[in-house]
Amino acid sequence: MPPIGGITNGNSHLQATGDALADSASSPLELSPLAEHAQSAQSVKVSLSGVGLQRAAASSADDRDIEESGLPENIQNILKMIRKLKQQIAEKLAELQAVMANRRLSPEESQAKVAALQSAMAGLNAGLMTANMALAKALKEAGLSPELLMKAASLAMKS
C-alpha cells in the first residue's frame, strides 16, 4: 500500500460495508491473516477529551442558529444532520491522522485500522451526499423566498 498523504475517493479496493466482508468470510476461500485482523477490527472505540465532552454538550447550542432561522422544520432537521455528519467526518479524519502518525503500531495493524477508518468515512461521506441531495429537494419543494434560500445555503456550509 503506498503511503497515505490524504484521503481520496479513488479506487482503494476497500469494501464499503462490514456486510461485504462478512459475505466474503462465508465463501469457501480462506481469509489471509491480514483480512482476519481487519475483520476483527470493524469497531472503533472513541473516547472524548474534556474539550470534546464540552463540545458535545454545546452541540445543541450550536444548532440554535438553525432553529432561529425561520426555515421549515424538515429543512432544519436536514441542516442539523448535515452538521452532525460533517462533525463525524472531521472526527474520523483526526482518528485516521492519529493512526497514521502512530509509529507504535505494526504495519499490519496500521493498515487494518486505516482501512476500517476509511470504510467508516466512506459511509459518512455517502450519508453527507444523501443529506445534501435531500436538502436540495426539500428547498426546491418548499418554495422559499430568495432570502431563506440564501440562509439555508449559508447554514449548510457552516460546520
Average of per-residue pLDDT values in the chain: 78
Whether residue 35 lies inside any domain: the answer is: no
Q: For 60-95, how does the pLDDT look when each residue is reduced to its tens digit (9 = 90+)?
A: 668 899 999 999 999 999 999 999 999 999 999 999
The identity of residue 28, as a single letter, is P
Whether residue 120 lies inside any domain: the answer is: yes
Q: Which residue has the higher pLDDT, 159 or 31?
A: 159
Comparing C-alpha atoms, which of 13, 9, 91 is closest to residue 52? 91
Q: For 128-143, how does the pLDDT look when each residue is reduced to its tens digit (9 = 90+)?
A: 999 999 999 999 999 9
Residue 12: the pLDDT is: 46
Report the distance separating Cα 159 and Cα 146, nearest Å: 22
Task: Indicate the range of 18-27, 46-55, 97-106, 110-119 predicted with least confidence.
Answer: 18-27
Residue 71: the pLDDT is: 95
Comparing C-alpha atoms, which of 126, 15, 141 is closest to residue 72? 141
Whether residue 15 lies inside any domain: the answer is: no
**With contact defined as beta carbons under 8 Å apart, do 1 and 113 qualify?**
no
Whether residue 62 lies inside any domain: the answer is: no
Report the percentage of the chain scoring pLDDT > 70.
61
Report the distance separating Cα 7 and Cα 55, nearest Å: 25
Is the pLDDT at 110 greater than 50? The verdict is yes
Is the pLDDT at 118 greater than 90? The verdict is yes
Residue 21: the pLDDT is: 44
Residue 22: the pLDDT is: 44
Q: Which residue has the higher pLDDT, 24 or 98?
A: 98
Residue 62: the pLDDT is: 80
Q: Which domain holds residue 139?
A: 67-159
Comparing C-alpha atoms, which of 7, 35, 2, 34 is closest to residue 117? 7
Whether residue 52 lies inside any domain: the answer is: no
Residue 48: the pLDDT is: 65
Number of structural domains in the chain: 1
How many CA atoms are closer than 13 Å to the CA of 73, on its beta-carbon side? 0
Residue 59: the pLDDT is: 60
Whether residue 39 lies inside any domain: the answer is: no
Comparing C-alpha atoms, which of 159, 148, 155, 157 is closest to residue 70? 148
Q: Global pTM?
A: 0.61
Is the pLDDT at 18 greater than 70? The verdict is no
Whether residue 48 lies inside any domain: the answer is: no
